[in-house]
Amino acid sequence: MDWHEEYKRKVLTPEEAAKLIKSGDVIMPMGGSTDQPKIMQQAIFDRKDELKDVYVLHGCPLRDPGWLSPGAEDSFKVDLTGYIGPIGRPSVNERRTGFIPVSWAFTLKAYERPGEHRPIDWDIMVVSPPNRHGFCSLGHALWFKKDMMKRSKRIIAEVDENVKWLYGDTTIHVSEVDYFVEYTPPLIPDEELPKALAGVEPEEKRKKIEEYTKQLLPNMRPTVMGVLMLMDIPGIDSIAETLGLLPCVEAEPVAGYVNMLINSRDCFQIGQGSPSAFLPRFGAFAAKEDLGHHTEMTARGVGNMIKEGQITGKYKNFYPGKAVFSALDGLSPEELEYATENPRFELYRTSWVTSIPVVATNDNMVSLQNGISVDLTGQINSESIFGGIMLNGPGGQPDIHIGALYSKGGRAITVMRATAVGGTVSCIVPQFEPGTVATIPREYADYIVTEFGIAKLLGKSLRERADELIAIAHPDHRAELKKEAQRLFWP
């Protein structure tokens, strides 16, 4: 059958496609990340009075059609996997939504084991319209799309004309999809932002939302705007910082110290969030040449480093000349346009990009990840606050961190603030509170960087680690940390 005819036969309305979901089905409506299905999530949730016990497996939701909110528990059971994010956080911490603590590399591995998990009935993703050969692009946010395709019984593809074409393992043929739903959400150009925000008060809040929205990728604008409208002004700034739009004051000194640990010809990875997302813009790679790049997500500024010839991949021993990603969510709109149909950027599935053996194949691999807190033994927490209150999941951090350590010449760098809550709380602590998550075990701790310096932990004793970490703590907290270190590590 000609692919054109096959495509037409498979096209359904959102309502028709949603009716294919049955009570008890397992669905994965997570798409990539910033390009998560929109109209299909809503169409499925709108059937909540007809459905029972539908299991929704999701990663870092960017919108809530209703199943994260109270009242839908009989119809939908939701588990988030690998990451949580600001939209899923309230539901997880109120224990209405479950969380699967697994790193990106192993998110779907359990589904390879027969009988241990219910099979995935429906994979729902966003794709481009087919090209002349019948292939659809999976877009700039590949993430788990390739993995889910292989593990799901059936696929519903939401066809969005705004989806970009990228190089790498980034396509799916019409014959591989069971049903298509055509939906291209409207984008909000800069000139229409004042009209879209006309009802937002006070004026300071409206101006902040407009300022931050202009920096977002076009497909993220409607969703993030909706979230920001619900926030108070400090909350708006907090989300903007997480998205890499508003730098924290610690970013510049942290970047200066990181620069001391980076060499020309290194291959590096950067995690999203603060302060790591600001490292390229604050000089962490200044005067370094012929860098390589291998990461799941990335930070704003990396696209410009490729464009300007600072990232060349010339000396990479693994995929030389290519900057490898699984998603380009962290780039600016201008950088994403540069990456579109550009063979210097290649996207591959997250489970492969973040796997320890793959990461370690890159010589001189440098991992740059955020930490929330670290104890004096070197345990690194990147997931929870005040004990067991979850902020995020591990994402790809553990695998890439360990892979960098295994790399010949590799380094694993954790960047973090020295304090939180306006300087009143030290992020370097004697011991973790009960419930605090150790994202990176102490035996894998390498470099910790704050705005006060670099702690070198690998191969150090507990006493030496305590001394190193106290030296990069905020001066206001060092005396108490020294007192606690004496109690913990000396007779």
- 384 in the same domain as 274: yes
pLDDT of amino acid 31? 67
> Alpha-carbon distance 225 to 209, whole Å?
7
Low-confidence winner among 82-91, 95-104, 449-458 (lowest mean pLDDT) = 82-91
| Domain final residue pick, 166, 182, 198 | 182
* Structural domain total, the chain: 3
**Does 226 score more than 90 pLDDT?**
no
CATH number for position 23? 3.40.1080.10
- 171 in the same domain as 105: yes
Label residue 141 left, alpha or beta by phi (over 0 means left) and psi (-120 to 50 means alpha): beta
- CA-closest candidate to residue 442, choices 482, 407, 472, 402: 402
**Does 369 score more than 80 pLDDT?**
yes
Average pLDDT over residues 173-196: 94
* Tens of pLDDT, residues 109-125: 888 888 888 899 999 99
Q: How confident is the model at residue 470 (pLDDT cuts 50, 70, 90)?
A: very high
**Does 30 score more than 80 pLDDT?**
no
Tokens of 191: 């000139």
Q: Torsion angle, CA of 298/300/301/305, rounded to 10 degrees?
A: 30
Task: Count the Cβ atoms, other than its own, within 10 Å of residue 154.
Answer: 15
Average pLDDT over residues 96-102: 92
Enumerate residues 6+ apart whose C-beta is below 8 A from 61.
30, 36, 68, 80, 85, 87, 88
- 481 in the same domain as 465: yes
Quick one: three-class SS letters along 26-74? EEECCCCCCCCCCHHHHHHHCCCCCCCCEEEEECCCCCCCCCCCCCCCC
Question: What interhelical angle do 203-213 and 233-242 show, nearest 10?
Answer: 10
CA of residue 417 relative to chain centroid, distance: 20
**Does 33 score more than 80 pLDDT?**
no
Enumerate residues 6+ apart whose C-beta is below 8 A from 271.
277, 297, 299, 368, 369, 370, 395, 396, 397
- 431 in the same domain as 403: yes
> Alpha-carbon distance 341 to 156, whole Å?
25
pLDDT of amino acid 32? 63
Q: Supply angle C-alpha 282, 287, 293, rounded to 5.
A: 75
Tokens of 138: 């999976």
Sheet holding 453-456, edge to edge: 292-293, 267-270, 365-370, 411-415, 447-450, 453-456
Q: Supply angle C-alpha 249, 397, 401, rounded to 5.
A: 100
DSSP 131-175: -TTSEEE--SB-TTHHHHHHHEEEEEEEE-TT----EES-EEEGG
* Tens of pLDDT, residues 417-428: 999 999 999 999
| Domain final residue pick, 131, 156, 182 | 182
**Does 159 score more than 70 pLDDT?**
yes
Sheet holding 167-168, edge to edge: 167-168, 345-347, 323-325
Share of the chain above pLDDT 70, in %: 99
> Alpha-carbon distance 169 to 165, whole Å?
11
* Tens of pLDDT, residues 56-80: 998 888 888 999 999 999 999 999 9
Task: List, in sequence order, the alpha helices (H) in 143-290.
Answer: 145-151, 193-196, 203-213, 221-229, 233-242, 251-259
- 156 in the same domain as 31: yes
- 199 in the same domain as 90: no
Task: Determine phi and psi for 132, rounding to 5 degrees.
Answer: -70, -15
- CA-closest candidate to residue 144, choices 327, 268, 293: 327
CA distances from 62 to 134, 220, 231 (A): 29, 9, 15
Q: How confident is the model at residue 219 (pLDDT cuts 50, 70, 90)?
A: confident
**Does 452 score more than 90 pLDDT?**
yes
Q: Supply angle C-alpha 16, 88, 103, rounded to 5.
A: 100
Task: Count the Cβ atoms, other than its own, within 10 Å of residue 10.
Answer: 16
- 287 in the same domain as 168: no
CA of residue 22 relative to chain centroid, distance: 31
Average pLDDT over residues 479-486: 98
* Cis status, amide bond into 61, omega within 30 of 0: no
Average pLDDT over residues 134-157: 94
- 269 in the same domain as 309: yes
- CA-closest candidate to residue 107, choices 85, 83, 125, 126: 83
Residue bearing the bigger pLDDT, 225 or 280: 280
- 215 in the same domain as 281: no
CATH number for position 370? 3.40.1080.20
- For residue 278, the one-letter residue type is F
pLDDT of amino acid 108? 83
CA distances from 267 to 262, 276, 283, 334, 362 (A): 9, 16, 16, 23, 7
Average pLDDT over residues 474-480: 98
Domain coverage including residue 108? 3-182
pLDDT of amino acid 230? 80
Averaged confidence pLDDT in the chain: 94
- 262 in the same domain as 211: no
| Domain final residue pick, 199, 219, 242 | 242
Q: How confident is the model at residue 377 (pLDDT cuts 50, 70, 90)?
A: very high
- 347 in the same domain as 231: no
- 228 in the same domain as 258: no
**Does 19 score more than 70 pLDDT?**
yes
